[in-house]
Amino acid sequence: MRTRLSGVFPPIPTAFDDTTGHVAPAAVAVNVRRLMAMPLAGVLALGSNGEAPLLAEEESDRVVAAAREAVPADRVLLVGTGREATRATVEASRRAAGLGADAVLVRAPFFYGAQMSQAALLAHFTAVADASPVPVVLYNLPGVTGFSLTAGLVEQLAEHRNIVGLKETSSDLDRLGRFAAIRPDRFAVLSGSAPVLYPALCAGAVGGILAVANILPSACLAMLQDVRAGRHESALALQRRLVRIAQLVSTVHGVAGLKAALEMIGQPGGPVRPPLRPLAAEAREEIRAELTAFQASFEARDTDRALV
Amino acid sequence: MRTRLSGVFPPIPTAFDDTTGHVAPAAVAVNVRRLMAMPLAGVLALGSNGEAPLLAEEESDRVVAAAREAVPADRVLLVGTGREATRATVEASRRAAGLGADAVLVRAPFFYGAQMSQAALLAHFTAVADASPVPVVLYNLPGVTGFSLTAGLVEQLAEHRNIVGLKETSSDLDRLGRFAAIRPDRFAVLSGSAPVLYPALCAGAVGGILAVANILPSACLAMLQDVRAGRHESALALQRRLVRIAQLVSTVHGVAGLKAALEMIGQPGGPVRPPLRPLAAEAREEIRAELTAFQASFEARDTDRALV
Amino acid sequence: MRTRLSGVFPPIPTAFDDTTGHVAPAAVAVNVRRLMAMPLAGVLALGSNGEAPLLAEEESDRVVAAAREAVPADRVLLVGTGREATRATVEASRRAAGLGADAVLVRAPFFYGAQMSQAALLAHFTAVADASPVPVVLYNLPGVTGFSLTAGLVEQLAEHRNIVGLKETSSDLDRLGRFAAIRPDRFAVLSGSAPVLYPALCAGAVGGILAVANILPSACLAMLQDVRAGRHESALALQRRLVRIAQLVSTVHGVAGLKAALEMIGQPGGPVRPPLRPLAAEAREEIRAELTAFQASFEARDTDRALV
Amino acid sequence: MRTRLSGVFPPIPTAFDDTTGHVAPAAVAVNVRRLMAMPLAGVLALGSNGEAPLLAEEESDRVVAAAREAVPADRVLLVGTGREATRATVEASRRAAGLGADAVLVRAPFFYGAQMSQAALLAHFTAVADASPVPVVLYNLPGVTGFSLTAGLVEQLAEHRNIVGLKETSSDLDRLGRFAAIRPDRFAVLSGSAPVLYPALCAGAVGGILAVANILPSACLAMLQDVRAGRHESALALQRRLVRIAQLVSTVHGVAGLKAALEMIGQPGGPVRPPLRPLAAEAREEIRAELTAFQASFEARDTDRALV
């Protein structure tokens, strides 16, 4: 599984109908098919960028089914199934597996964060991993949950035969590096933060789950190839160019920014679901300008390299 | 509504069957009936102490129905209906109203906390208040959501005819005091933190929604009566005695502590739902000792007063 | 000492010469003399509002000497002597005592906050209290230091014969209440936050050290008298009127706001020392407007009461 | 200057006399001389590891003088001169320069953190850079100050002819990467966090100021050489081995841990100054065991490489 997880995964957004606000599975599939034309490792459905916390259970299932249809069998369909209750997480994981997920991505429960002791988290993730028909990837997103999984806990969890990796969504590379050192032969660490993709790959990540990979998959793939080929200066230069657009479609403007950028490249984007808010006009222009600037510089780079 | 909200509300726990882990509506009703023998203002169902985030939607409905049956028509059944999506919050509020809730308690969405601008929160709460068939009480719990409603936002929301109050769950009495000053004639502020109940009542709160009121309703009522009657020294003395047991059944040991204390007074408590964890034996003894000590001192106090 | 600390203390600013930026002891004395015409318990020199962290040791001494000259012997001159090193704190406390301080106010060291274990803090405060020729008042200001003294630690420290009280600068009245309950007969807790002065007095504080008391000493004194006389409604009404101006001259605009307000009431204010910044013109107008509004309402109140 | 700053700097501890607690300049010099036998870029005197906040001004000067004597003219003596007041920082920088410092390292003032607007920080650092006879290196240590310098501010400051670099003490490589991208030809970014030294070098840092470099200078130098030579796998392997011992002598056990480790390698360590606490016996054993393990593995590595 570690090999299959090594690479770039776009965390796909969930398309909604402009008029009704209902989930639009056909538009989800269009996006995934376009992405699957690139040598990406797979996609993540129902992550934070998929507005998973805003969906009803039956809506979630329709997104998974649509994604599965569009992801070839030799690529990985990763599905976010974290819920607050252990039983709900188990159920969501079973349903996702039944609909064809290759692995599930499970965040820590955090509403009762003050009660989430090491013992509570160990029991939760173990119960999910015991019950899940497909492998589990842990999801550490301290910016949302308010606490981080510790290296000690992850070390214990990595011994479970059905826990195969971890996504770290932060720019703390001390932590990512410790997770990546746990069982480097078997346990796959993926970065969830494009602004540190290059140094994260240096620190031991095997790939990334990155909002910007929905928009600029080839740039993310190029960075991975640069590192694999030892072209570190090229990777650093690309990282520096990528930082701003990566932020605009993730931390700065959130899912609304990501969906707006999708529309700019001719893909189905559509509305976000409230309480998320539509993008302001200036934010849209900021994204458009940065995207244009990035694409010009990126194409120049590839032309340069082709000439070498 | 402000008058009806003035008083003490226990946030009732949700009983689960020991064997199956299913919701146990009959046990919920037993607890509520006992409480309703006291001059409490009403109860809150499906709050944080009700393990609401761990319930499926249909389970939530069964808890509301059971509570309604046990709450007399002249008391207030308050129901927590906060969800991450605005549409889900609206739906939960409508269902609760349909099942007899007198008002709904609505927390801010917080998974996408970084995107929860003033505009986003204003739109969310306004949409819920527009759609809810019963009045809305805002729920500020920064310890869980990671951010606080601002006084400016609450001032705007308090102008909505269907938003009638706010529960503040923190010990920050600067903030509570500002909320309480907004429209003191119409907008009811309730404290959600028993360790500051007395000073919160001084600062303008009209009552409290307090875990410890499930266990010691008469002590909470006595404090309210002391303040109303100008017996401030007595209220402060009672507050000091109440702090420790109040913490043990809320912030320190969470819902498991509350359910254990319920069992100690002969009421249905039962298991918590994972990822929450059963109470350790020492924690149980700590609660028992503190509860015994409190009850002895409280009875002595009432005897003293009766003699005066 | 507890009796002498019961009351209102303005934390006096340190005046600087407009041209040279040097400490201006004469202007310090002018301010103190005006304040001492009111029935205040005393003053605090070299607190945060006194720009103590921006002064050289010899400048500190000149401020203490000037304050002592202007504070009558029957009032308390409290002097801030917290430093990062234990030895520097001891030396500053001895020098302050030698210059006539009645007690010293000592904050926790916090540059090495991560190393400030309970044992380290206990040893630090104990060493200072052992060596100080005058009583020590602890100073808890978590907003600056990044951590709070715990109730357990303060309980231990309150057993030291030379540690007589604590100033709590936060709006957390759970914490203040616990400190106030420690040895209510001997250990004096003072509030450092005017926006919660009234509920803090309810929760057990015996007075306050409040920036706004430099500007509106009679309002602060009136609140204390209201509480002592059982006029709780009047105290709450006054608290609500006082909140905004109190914030403007403390948390919102800092020492620059305080000094500007002093000038508005005809007292020496003068520049702040860099890196603190001069007040912007709009901020000055905001303070002026709020101050005028407060004074009008406060005089009306006193006239009302006089008529009763 | 950028070239001279490219490399490894141990932030030297300040030795104190065992009996008197006075600064021991001779012991400082012994440590520096040993270090200068290695191809280090220089040393930092009076950093956090130098207990600078615990020293009187005249003590600081004696440390600088002792260090200068032991640092050859072709290496960089960097001196920490950050103070709370702008004027005190300017004075300390001038004195350091007069005593032979090649550059000064200046942290942000943070006691009045809430007032440290971008304008205040810009004015402060500009005033210091204007007045300092030697170049200024900015010092970002959000873990201590509670806030971070922003990329926008650093971009402005990097235009000052006398501001030549920045030390970032955190494991946030998004931030470090942005600082490093500002003026990569002229503005030198150094990492202050050994657990991320390798990925920091990837992300654009030109070197590090690292507590562990006092103990294991050759390991830090080897990592820098690995990166410069494109030996990324070797650098990552070394990073993983270095993490634990690096933490033990910095974030975990602080200066006391660093001084204990110095004694273990036969160098003058001595006591820390209160409120810092002597190291517990178990902590000492933990450091000793980790140090022994590291040295064994590191020597094995070098032997391996020599054989290749």
Q: Which pLDDT tens digits describe chain C residue by residue (308 residues)? A: 889 999 999 999 999 999 999 999 999 999 999 999 999 999 999 999 999 999 999 999 999 999 999 999 999 999 999 999 999 999 999 999 999 999 999 999 999 999 999 999 999 999 999 999 999 999 999 999 999 999 999 999 999 999 999 999 999 999 999 999 999 899 999 999 999 999 999 999 999 999 999 999 999 999 999 999 999 999 999 999 999 999 999 999 999 999 999 999 999 999 999 999 999 999 999 999 999 999 998 877 766 565 44
Name the active-site residue from B62, B124, B167, B259.
B167
- Domain assignment of residue C250, yes or no: no
A200 has a pLDDT exceeding 80: yes
Mean pLDDT score, A15-34: 97
Residue from the list B55, B120, B144 with its beta carbon closest to the beta carbon of A275: B120
Whether the CB-CB separation of B163 and B139 falls below 8 Å is answered with: no
Beta-carbon pairs below 8 A across chains A and D: 73
Residue from the list D55, D109, D255 with its beta carbon closest to the beta carbon of C275: D109
Give pLDDT, residue B308.
43
- Domain assignment of residue A306, yes or no: no
Give pLDDT, residue B94.
98
Q: How far apart are CA D111 and CA B4, in angstroms?
A: 47
Mean pLDDT score, B239-243: 97
Q: How far apart are CA A200 and CA A193, in angstroms?
A: 9
D81 CB contacts (<8 Å, ≥6 apart)?
D46, D89, D92, D93, D96, D101, D104, D105, D106
Give pLDDT, residue D125.
98
Residue from the list D181, D198, D240 with its beta carbon closest to the beta carbon of A240: D181
CA distances from A31 to A49, A67, B74 (A): 14, 9, 55
Q: Which residues of D are catalytic?
A: 167
Question: What are the φ and ψ backbone dihedral angles of A51, each rounded to 5 degrees?
Answer: 55, 35
- Looking at the DSSP bridge assignments, the partners of residue B103 are B78
> Which residue range is the domain that position C160 belongs to?
7-216
Q: How far apart are CA A213 and CA A8, in angstroms?
A: 7
Below-50 pLDDT ranges, chain D: 307-308
Of A197, A215, A217, which is closest to residue A207 (Cα–Cα)? A197
> Smallest CA–CA separation between A302 and chain B, in Å?
35
- Domain assignment of residue D205, yes or no: yes
D168 contact residues in A (CB cutoff 8 A): none
Give pLDDT, residue A306.
54
Residue from the list D111, D124, D254 with its beta carbon closest to the beta carbon of C53: D111
Of A44, A36, A106, which is closest to residue A74 (Cα–Cα)? A36
CATH number of the domain residue C68 falls in: 3.20.20.70
Contact at CB, A275 and B119, closer than 8 angstroms = no
The answer to whether C193 faces chain B, any CB pair under 8 Å, is: yes
Residue from the list B175, B195, B230 with its beta carbon closest to the beta carbon of C174: B195
The answer to whether C202 faces chain B, any CB pair under 8 Å, is: yes
Task: List b or e across C97-111, with b for residues whose CB sees 16 or more CB atoms inside 10 angstroms.
Answer: bebbbbbbbbbbbbb
Of D227, D159, D155, which is closest to residue D8 (Cα–Cα)? D227
The answer to whether D177 faces chain A, any CB pair under 8 Å, is: yes
Contact at CB, C202 and B199, closer than 8 angstroms = yes
Contact at CB, D243 and A174, closer than 8 angstroms = yes
Mean pLDDT score, B92-109: 98
Give pLDDT, residue D252.
96
Contact at CB, B243 and C178, closer than 8 angstroms = yes
Of C181, C233, C219, C225, which is closest to residue C203 (Cα–Cα)? C181
Number of domains forming the structure of chain C:
1
- Domain assignment of residue D280, yes or no: no
- Domain assignment of residue C264, yes or no: no
- For residue D172, give the DSSP letter: B
Give pLDDT, residue C1.
85
Residue from the list D112, D119, D256 with its beta carbon closest to the beta carbon of C254: D112
Q: How far apart are CA B243 and CA B15, in angstroms?
A: 25
Sheet-wide strand order for B76-80:
B8-9, B207-209, B188-191, B163-168, B136-140, B103-107, B76-80, B42-45
Q: How far apart are CA D165 and CA D206, in angstroms?
A: 10
Q: Residue A73, class by beta-carbon neighbours within 10 Å (0-12 exposed, 13-18 middle, 19+ buried)? A: exposed
For residue B145, how many other CB atoms are within 10 A of its CB? 20
Contact at CB, C277 and D55, closer than 8 angstroms = no
> Smallest CA–CA separation between C144 and chain D, in Å?
6
- Looking at the DSSP bridge assignments, the partners of residue A8 are A208
Q: Phi-psi bin for B79: left (phi > 0), alpha (psi -120 to 50), beta? A: beta
B127 contact residues in A (CB cutoff 8 A): 274
- Looking at the DSSP bridge assignments, the partners of residue A7 are none
D and A: touch, per 3+ CB pairs < 8 A? yes
Percentage of chain B surpassing pLDDT 70?
Answer: 98
Contact at CB, C144 and D113, closer than 8 angstroms = yes
Contact at CB, A127 and B274, closer than 8 angstroms = yes
Q: Is C174 helix (H, G, I), strand (E, B) or coil?
A: helix
Q: Which residues of A are catalytic?
A: 167
The answer to whether A178 faces chain D, any CB pair under 8 Å, is: yes
The answer to whether B243 faces chain C, any CB pair under 8 Å, is: yes
Give pLDDT, residue C308.
43
Alpha carbon C168 to its chain centroid, in Å, reads 10
B303 has a pLDDT exceeding 90: no
D48 CB contacts (<8 Å, ≥6 apart)?
C111, C112, D11, D80, D141, D144, D255
Q: How far apart are CA C47 and CA D111, in angstroms?
A: 12
Give pLDDT, residue D250.
96
Q: Which residues of C are catalytic?
A: 167
Both structure tokens of D14 = 């300040």
Give pLDDT, residue A308.
43
In this predicted model, what pLDDT tens digit does every residue of A214-253 receive, in sequence order?
A: 999 999 999 999 999 999 999 999 999 999 999 999 999 9
B234 has a pLDDT exceeding 80: yes
* Interface pTM, i.e. ipTM: 0.96
Query: How long is chain A?
Result: 308
- Domain assignment of residue B295, yes or no: no
> Smallest CA–CA separation between C241 and chain B, in Å?
10
Q: How far apart are CA C61 and CA C50, in angstroms?
A: 13
Of A154, A138, A74, A155, which is closest to residue A104 (Cα–Cα)? A138
Give pLDDT, residue C146.
97
Both structure tokens of D119 = 């304008």
Angle subtended at Cα B115 by Cα B112 and Cα B118, rounded to the nearest 5 degrees: 120
For residue A185, how many other CB atoms are within 10 A of its CB? 5
- Domain assignment of residue B275, yes or no: no
- Domain assignment of residue A76, yes or no: yes
Give pLDDT, residue D308.
44
Both structure tokens of B48 = 């944080």
Dihedral over alpha carbons D164, D170, D175, D179 (to 10 degrees): 10
Contact at CB, B239 and C193, closer than 8 angstroms = no
B281 CB contacts (<8 Å, ≥6 apart)?
none
Whether the CB-CB separation of C88 and D56 falls below 8 Å is answered with: yes
Q: How far apart are CA B249 and CA B252, in angstroms?
A: 7
Alpha helices (runs of H) in C57-105, residue ranges in sequence order: 57-70, 86-98
> Smallest CA–CA separation between C233 and chain B, in Å?
9
The answer to whether C109 faces chain D, any CB pair under 8 Å, is: yes
Q: Is C164 helix (H, G, I), strand (E, B) or coil?
A: strand
Nearest chain D residue to C56, by CA? D88
Q: How far apart are CA D224 and CA D191, in angstroms?
A: 12
> Smallest CA–CA separation between D169 and chain C, in Å?
14
Contact at CB, C243 and B177, closer than 8 angstroms = yes
The answer to whether B153 faces chain A, any CB pair under 8 Å, is: no
Residue from the list C171, C181, C240 with its beta carbon closest to the beta carbon of B173: C171
State pTM to two decimals.
0.96
A128 has a pLDDT exceeding 50: yes
Contact at CB, C112 and D275, closer than 8 angstroms = yes
Contact at CB, D172 and A172, closer than 8 angstroms = yes
Three-state SS annotation for chain B: CHHHHCCEECECCCCECCCCCCECHHHHHHHHHHHHCCCCCEEEECCHHHCHHHCCHHHHHHHHHHHHHHCCCCCEEEEECCCCCHHHHHHHHHHHHHCCCCEEEEECCCCCHHHCCHHHHHHHHHHHHHHCCCCEEEEECHHHHCCCCCHHHHHHHCCCCCEEEEEECCCEHHHHHHHHCCCCCCCEEEECCHHHHHHHHHCCCCEEECHHHHCCHHHHHHHHHHHHCCCHHHHHHHHHHHHHHHHHHHHHCHHHHHHHHHHHCCCCCCCCCCCCCCCCHHHHHHHHHHHHHHHHHHHHHHHHHHHC
Question: What are the φ and ψ backbone dihedral angles of C80, each rounded to 5 degrees?
Answer: -75, 125
Of A143, A208, A209, which is closest to residue A172 (Cα–Cα)? A143
B173 contact residues in C (CB cutoff 8 A): 171-173, 196, 199-200
Q: How far apart are CA D127 and CA D111, in angstroms?
A: 19
B177 contact residues in C (CB cutoff 8 A): 195-196, 199, 239-240, 243
Q: Residue B225, class by beta-carbon neighbours within 10 Å (0-12 exposed, 13-18 middle, 19+ buried)? A: middle
Q: Which long-range contacts (CB under 8 A, 24 or more apart) does D235-240 make?
A: D235/D198, D235/D201, D236/A202, D236/A203, D236/A204, D236/D198, D237/D301, D238/D198, D238/D298, D238/D301, D239/A177, D239/A203, D239/D195, D239/D197, D239/D198, D239/D199, D240/A177, D240/A181
Whether the CB-CB separation of A286 and A244 falls below 8 Å is answered with: no
Question: What are the φ and ψ backbone dihedral angles of C185, each rounded to 5 degrees?
Answer: -80, -20
Give the pairing of strands B188-191 and B163-168. parallel
Alpha carbon C112 to its chain centroid, in Å, reads 24
Whether the CB-CB separation of A79 and A12 falls below 8 Å is answered with: no
Give pLDDT, residue B1.
85
- Looking at the DSSP bridge assignments, the partners of residue D11 are D44
